[in-house]
Structure 1
């Protein structure tokens, strides 16, 4: 009889691919709240990259970890660099001290054509936020607004290269970094869309740890094109720094899910011994070959189960399980519910 109290945890190599389908454990007392101040002509791409990181964080956990609000400087609608207006939740004029106290992070989103002159209302808001101990952030040239508030004196900051000369001329006590991202204890700044995503991932890691960031990267960075040959990283664990033998073994497993190869067949194909294969997986993936293979197959099954209308029997067979009962038991061990219950939950 199957032990229903048994619970399996995914190894680190496959945990990220399945994190949004696993129990989140203890939920935080309250989500971290992020406020985005949009300047006129802000970079839509940079802004959405930052927000996407927060939304995806909530997707990979069953309990919401972040909330965000959008602030206009003096208008409830702000024009982006694409000519698309974004509605805001409120304006700085109505963003009172009481509201600021409910915010944990306040980020100013700039863009290529943003006005770099000081806005007194924004300066006052940033100073008040700093006194309350909020983490401040600047995207593109959002760091200029923070500098106007005197909150970057004797500190490094990142900004779009087009604004470096202006910052050095106007704020001699601010050090402009040549890097696209600068993280200090109370302030985070970046130069554009790609670094905006990295900036948010850094903040997420600081709040909730590295596991959740790996899960977010699994979703948002799967189509990252390598410089050599344009090949895309499309599967978990496809790390170019791994030894070639290990990558070959992982690829063989990935290509033979419906009819799994034996460990002896795997070693024969790649030309390594059983001991060498076990050492490769343990050293680089912190798991065994057989466990990795099972988790790869159960992940494949989870995708088919939740994304197709195939019967559970067909899903089991397509994932290399010899019987529906064995598949159901393994699925419940990892995901805490039966395949039928998981499918029902997906459609509820």
Structure 2
């Protein structure tokens, strides 16, 4: 008999929900630095959506993936469209004072932002282009890029209110009807929702699709359906999954404390055990028993880190027959014992 089992890895669906609590990888790179240029009357909602994507990326990883700073065009603090002022980390004067620019620069616009050219901003953006900086515009943040000549023969997205201006003022720029456009290393979007999507695209380009799924696991919980039926989104709501599979997943989620056997689960939804196994393997790339265990260990992790209940009670509430079995499973997945995880929370 061997001793302790080797570490377990979560299947894809459950890994997204637990990524922030898994052991760090062997190699850690420096965080990618992002700069947000705040124009007067910038859209606070669009700005915070973009920043939220970066902050959440850091939350779902064991080490920071991004750092960010804010830059004012003229003076700080900068007033937003809501009348709320943001103190910028620095003020744009000229390009000579920005030799080490962030890897990514995002220009934050808004409904009342000026469409006039700003010489200091244009100078900074041209310097950024020379340094190979990735640049993006939010709402009408693409307009300063166009003034700097950095969108010539490229496509961009801006708020519909600015389409006529863009087409009249910049004939060499294609103003798209899409809400988010990526062309070369220029990105642009038309509003708050597309600002989030633009940042998720950038994050995915740097760190891969897995981190995007983990971010969406947190940020997409309250999307409103077409029927305006407001309810929390969960994995079982994925319309791409077959109805029988979603029924099985719902039954598992509703029976955490007293797990149901595989045969009983299959009988409750009217299919055979073999059909159940095929559904899980084909759509979730895991077995029903493994998914059920990961669902329960995830439930336990939330109770462990969010409540002060005893480890024994948490084990029982998560369907484990003993505290020792729970502790072994927890350590297999998260690399630390439940006791140490609670101490480090």
Name the TM tier (shorter chain).
over 0.9
Q: Equivalences for 1:36-185 in 2 at 5 Å?
A: 36-93=36-93, 96=96, 99-185=98-184
Q: Deviations over 1:32-90 (max 9, x none)?
A: 11000000000000000000100111111111110101000011210000000000000
Tell me if structure 2 keeps the 8 A contact 1:23–1:61.
no
- C-alpha separation between the residues in 2 aligned to 1:78 and 1:141? 17
Report if the CA contact (8 A) 1:157-1:189 is conserved. Answer: yes
**8 Å CA contact retained: 2:95, 2:120:** no
Q: TM-score, length-normalised on structure 2?
A: 0.97
Alignment of 1:1-348 (within 5 A): 3-4=3-4, 6-93=6-93, 96=96, 99-228=98-227, 230-346=229-345
Shift of 1:184: 1.9
Paired residues of 2:17 and 2:217 also in contact (CA < 8 A)? yes
In structure 2, how many angstroms separate the alpha carbons of the residues matched to 1:190 and 1:75? 25
1:165 deviates by 0.5
Q: Distance in 1 between matches of 2:94 and 2:55?
A: 25
- Structure 1 stretches lacking a partner, 5+ long: none
Q: For the structure 1 residues 2 and 157, does the alpha-carbon distance in structure 2 shift closer, same or farther, using more than 3 Å as the test?
A: same
Cα displacement string for residues 118-169 of structure 1 (whole angstroms, at most 9, x for unaligned residues): 0001101101100110001000000001000011111110000000000000
Cα separation, partners in 2 of 1:252 and 1:100, compared to 1, 3 Å: farther
Distance verdict in 2 for CA 1:229–1:73, change over 3 Å:
closer
> Secondary structure of the equivalent of 1:154?
coil
Give the TM-score normalised by the residue count of structure 1: 0.96
Are residues 229 and 191 of structure 1, via their aligned partners in 2, closer, same or farther at CA, if it must alter by over 3 Å?
A: closer
Q: Displacement of 1:6 after TM fit?
A: 1.4
Q: Give a deviation string over 1:156-188, Cα, whole Å, max 9, x none.
A: 100000000000000011101111000122111
Q: SS state of the match for residue 266, structure 1?
A: helix
* Secondary structure of the structure 1 residue equivalent to 2:37: strand
- Per-residue deviation, 1:4: 3.8
1:317–1:100 CA distance, 2 compared to 1 (3 A): farther
Equivalent pairs counted in the alignment come to: 345
Deviation digits for residues 253-310 of structure 1 (CA, Å, limit 9, x no counterpart) = 0000000000000000000111111111111111110000000000000001111111
Q: How big is each residue's C-alpha offset from its partner over 1:188-241, in whole Å with a ceiling of 9 and x where there is no partner?
A: 100000000000000000000000010000111111122235153432353111
Change (3 A) 1:94 1:200: same
Task: Decide whether the 8 Å contact of 2:204 with 2:211 is kept in 1.
Answer: yes
Q: d(CA) in 2 for partners of 1:313 and 1:115?
A: 61
Q: What secondary structure, in the 3-state scheme, does the structure 2 residue paired with 1:306 have?
A: helix
> 1:95 Cα shift?
6.3
